[in-house]
């Protein structure tokens, strides 16, 4: 059970650190009027090298009240309690004087922006004349050059000893420190950076309400973004499925059309081939008219446009003359020498000739 409790505490701490980072990113987006209202709910402890002054914001037309501290803890506590009489919040923001802050500028590659804090932490000893474990720092990106692919970064550093002294003094007079801030060092601007964030329980009710509101807003924005992404992803998937279905139907129709076209082309080719071929009955009728009654044919062969005749004739020259004078037969050729028949009454021939296919009906 103890292990489960420790794991739960670790998970909650991890989530809260993540939310703290997220809120730090969202805080610059808060409207200035709400930010000013939150700032007015807390007092400001101004710390310099020589004095410490508690500044209480006035209400309405009243001006701010400055209370010097540090002379006597008991007297300081009584002074602060008297000044805060009637106020519901004892939260305070510690603001370090520029005399307690070191500044440094560094130029880094543009890609360093993704891990800028880790890079600056490793180079801290080189950038400021103090040990890295004795200071706390924050940074601002003051320039970005896409041409040279570089970042101009300003580093704001304060010693942990000065921050710890200010925090101890605030707590000794009964106040709750929430933030330790320092001037950003930008000319003509009162911008500040946060060097240390203290326990949230020390924040004022307004600050806690604002933090809870930002946390809730962050959760709602995350859920809305995820819901929008899931909705768009589902719509895109449905649209893609519809497009695939339409494309599949079009592809099937195209394949069917191609198959039918191939079948039609095959049928047309076969028809053209048959049209170019000689009609057998027509060829037989022409051959019957070609061979007179005095001739005897023992073998007839037809190979495409070529006809071969083997037989006997009283005079083979007469057969050759008939072929040459025919309308569709031409180019007669003897395939073998002419010989006499066994009874000596005729001549044996083996002749071939071509057929003009265009004459077929």
Same fold, 42-203 and 280-359: no
Q: Of 227-231, 242-246, 279-283, which range is least confident?
A: 279-283
Confidence of residue 52 (pLDDT cuts 50, 70, 90): confident
- Reading phi first (left if > 0) and then psi (alpha if -120 to 50, else beta), residue 59 is in beta
> CA-CA distances (angstroms) from residue 285 to 33, 93, 271, 278, 288?
114, 123, 23, 12, 5
Structure tokens at 224: 């809305």
Question: Above pLDDT 70, what percent of the chain?
Answer: 76
For the 280-359 domain, the top CATH level (class) is alpha beta
Confidence of residue 4 (pLDDT cuts 50, 70, 90): low
- From 3.30.420.380, 2.160.10.10, 1.10.1200.10, 3.40.50.300, which CATH number describes the 42-203 domain? 3.30.420.380
Q: What SS3 state is found at 33? A: helix
**Span 298-347, pLDDT tens digits:** 888 888 788 898 998 888 888 888 888 888 888 898 888 888 887 878 88
Taken in order 195, 200, 206, 210, is the CA torsion positive or negative? Answer: positive
**For the chain, which residues make up each domain, given as ranges?**
42-203, 280-359
């Amino acid at each position: 059970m103890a292990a489960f409790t420790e794991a739960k505490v670790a998970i909650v701490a991890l989530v809260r650190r993540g939310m703290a980072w997220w809120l730090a990113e969202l805080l610059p987006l808060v409207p200035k009027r709400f930010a000013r209202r939150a700032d007015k709910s807390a007092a400001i402890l101004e710390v310099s090298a020589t004095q410490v002054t508690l500044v209480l914001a006035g209400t309405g037309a009243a001006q701010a009240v400055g209370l010097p501290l540090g002379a006597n803890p008991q007297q300081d506590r009584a002074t602060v309690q008297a000044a805060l009489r009637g106020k519901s919040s004892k939260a305070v923001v510690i603001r370090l004087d520029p005399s307690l802050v070191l500044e440094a500028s560094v130029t880094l590659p543009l890609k360093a922006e993704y891990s800028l804090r880790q890079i600056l932490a490793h180079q801290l000893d080189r950038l400021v004349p103090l040990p890295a474990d004795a200071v706390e720092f924050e940074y601002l990106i003051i320039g970005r050059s896409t041409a040279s692919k570089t970042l101009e970064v300003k580093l704001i550093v304060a010693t942990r000893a000065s921050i710890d002294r200010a925090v101890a003094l605030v707590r000794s007079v009964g106040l709750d420190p929430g933030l330790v801030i320092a001037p950003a060092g930008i000319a003509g601007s009162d911008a500040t950076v946060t060097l240390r964030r203290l326990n949230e329980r020390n924040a004022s009710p307004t600050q806690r309400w604002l933090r809870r509101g930002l946390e809730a807003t962050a959760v709602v924005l995350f859920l809305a973004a995820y819901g929008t992404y899931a909705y768009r992803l589902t719509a895109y998937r449905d649209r893609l499925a519809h497009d695939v279905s339409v494309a599949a139907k079009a592809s099937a129709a195209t394949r069917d059309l191609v198959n039918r076209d191939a079948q039609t082309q095959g049928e047309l080719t076969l028809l053209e081939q048959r049209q170019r071929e000689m009609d057998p009955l027509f060829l037989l009728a022409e051959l019957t008219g070609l061979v007179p009654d005095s001739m005897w044919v023992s073998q007839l062969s037809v190979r495409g446009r070529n006809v071969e005749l083997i037989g006997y004739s009283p005079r083979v020259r007469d057969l050759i003359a008939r072929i040459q004078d025919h309308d569709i037969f031409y180019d007669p050729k003897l395939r073998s020498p002419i010989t006499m028949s066994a009874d000596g009454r005729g001549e044996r021939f083996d002749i071939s000739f071509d057929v003009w296919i265009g004459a077929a009906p």
